Amino acid sequence: MLQIKAIHKPTFKASVSLSVAIVALISICIVQFKSAPHLPILLAILLLFGYGMWNKFTFKQLETGLVNGASSGMSAVFLFFFIGVLVSSWMMSGTIPTLIYAGFQIITPAYFYAIAFVVTAIIGLSVGSSLTTVATVGVAFIGMAHVLDLSLPLAAGAIVSGAFFGDKMSPLSDTTNLASSIVGVDLFEHIRNMGWTTFPAFFISLILFGILSPSTASGDFQKIETFRDALMGTNMIHWYTVIPIIVLFVLTFAKVPAILTLAASSFVAVIIAFFHTQYGFSEVLEILFSGYKGLTGVTEVDELLSRGGMESMMFTISLVLLALSMGGMLFTLGIVQCLLAKIESLLRKVSSVIMASALTAIGINVLIGEQYLSILLTGQAFQSSYEKVGLANKNLSRVMEDAGTVINPLVPWSVAGIFITTVLGVPTLAYLPFTFFCLLSPVLTVLFGYLGKTLTRI
Domain positions in the chain: 75-318+329-458
Query: How many angstroms separate the CA atoms of 387 and 183, rounded?
Result: 11
CA-based angle 333:336:339, to the nearest 5? 120
Residue 452 DSSP label: T
Q: What is the pLDDT of residue 75?
A: 75
Angle between helices 187-212 and 436-451 (to 10 degrees): 120
Q: What is the pLDDT of residue 219?
A: 53
Residue 458, C-beta contacts closer than 8 angstroms, at least 6 positions apart: 387, 390, 391, 392
One-letter amino acid identity for 229?
A: D
Query: How many angstroms separate the CA atoms of 284 and 54, rounded?
Result: 52
DSSP-derived secondary structure for 387-431: HHTTB-HHHHHHHHHHTTGGGGGGSTTSHHHHHHHHHH---HHHH
Q: What is the pLDDT of residue 282?
A: 93
Q: What is the pLDDT of residue 108?
A: 66
Angle between helices 74-93 and 314-332 (to 10 degrees): 170
Q: What is the pLDDT of residue 345?
A: 63
User: Is residue 369 left, alpha or beta, with left meaning phi > 0 and alpha meaning psi from -120 to 50?
Assistant: left
Q: What is the pLDDT of residue 249?
A: 76
Beta-strand (E) ranges in 283-397? none
Give the torsion sign (CA, 436, 159, 135, 178).
Answer: positive
- Residues written for the chain: 458
Q: How many angstroms separate the Cα of 425 from the Cα of each of 152, 153, 333, 367, 418?
A: 9, 10, 45, 24, 10
pTM above 0.75, yes or no: no
Q: What is the pLDDT of residue 305?
A: 85
Query: How many angstroms separate the CA atoms of 381 and 1, rounded?
Result: 9
CA-based angle 153:369:84, to the nearest 5? 90
| Greatest pairwise CA separation for the chain in angstroms | 74
Question: Closest Cα to residue 233, out of 137, 101, 102?
Answer: 101
Residue 74, C-beta contacts closer than 8 angstroms, at least 6 positions apart: none
Question: Closest Cα to residue 73, out of 364, 315, 318, 257?
Answer: 318
Query: How many angstroms separate the CA atoms of 158 and 208, rounded?
Result: 10
Q: What is the pLDDT of residue 218?
A: 52
Contact in structure between 440 and 168 (CB atoms under 8 Å): no
Q: What is the pLDDT of residue 45?
A: 94
One-letter amino acid identity for 207?
A: I
Residue 457, classed as helix, strand or coil, is strand
Query: How many angstroms separate the CA atoms of 39 and 322, rounded?
Result: 9
Q: What is the pLDDT of residue 1?
A: 55
Residue 319 DSSP label: H
Question: Closest Cα to residue 180, out of 398, 408, 457?
Answer: 398
In the predicted model, residues of the chain with pLDDT beneath 50 are none
One-letter amino acid identity for 414?
A: S
Query: How many angstroms separate the CA atoms of 95 and 292, rounded?
Result: 13
